[in-house]
Amino acid sequence: MLSEIFISALLVIGGVFGLVGSYGLVKLRDAMQRLHAPTKATTVGIGGILCASIAIAWLERGVASTHELLITLFLFVTAPVTANFIAKAYMHRNIEAASLPQTETSCGWAGYAPPPGENEPPSGDKSN
């Protein structure tokens, strides 16, 4: 009984954060702001549901299951990379270098300025 309440609570928490993340996609105004919403859904939203899955296996069926930790890990590795790609694609199309803060180093930002030792501006989208 107690374990059912605990598992349900985890599922509801995960669902609520997933919903808030999706609502953020609708509400926020530009692509950079919208990027913040899915990083939320993949962390606490998915995390809550995976914790529920571990709890069901452990409390209801008596098996120790750690599969879910791997899902979390793969999400944590891939989500920032995806977010970074989307941010870069958006910046190349819509954001001028002048509207960004200074780097405070001798070079500009990688997507806009050449790497140290090269004077030619990078052709196309050769960033990083």
Partner 1 sequence: MLNRILPHPYLTLLLTIFWLQLVNKVTLGNVLLGFALAVIIPAMTEPYWPDRPRVRRPFRAISYVGLVLWDIVLANIEVAKIVLFKPAADIRSQWVSVPLDLKSPEAIAVLAGTITLTPGTVSAMLAADGGAILVHCLHTDNPDAVRDEIKTRYEARLKEIFE
Interface residues toward partner 1, by CB under 8 A: 17, 20, 23-24, 27-29, 32-33, 35-37, 39-40, 43-44, 47, 65-67, 69-70, 76-77, 79-81, 83-84, 87-88, 91, 99-111, 113-116, 127-128
Nearer to partner 1 (CB atom), residue 47 or residue 55 = 47
- We find the least distance from the C-beta atom of residue 63 to partner 1, in angstroms, to be 9
- We find the least distance from the C-beta atom of residue 100 to partner 1, in angstroms, to be 6
- We find the least distance from the C-beta atom of residue 78 to partner 1, in angstroms, to be 10
11 CB-near residues (< 8 Å, 6+ apart): 48, 49, 52
Structure tokens, 93 = 């199309």
Nearer to partner 1 (CB atom), residue 60 or residue 76 = 76
| Cα–Cα distance for residue pair 23/28, rounded to 1 Å | 9
Give the type of residue at 73.
L
| Cα–Cα distance for residue pair 80/41, rounded to 1 Å | 13
Structure tokens, 22 = 């999706």
Q: Scanning the structure block, which residue is given the tokens 């899915």? A: 38
Nearer to partner 1 (CB atom), residue 8 or residue 27 = 27
Nearer to partner 1 (CB atom), residue 1 or residue 123 = 123
Nearest alpha-carbon partner for 68 in 79, 82, 54: 54
- We find the least distance from the C-beta atom of residue 1 to partner 1, in angstroms, to be 26
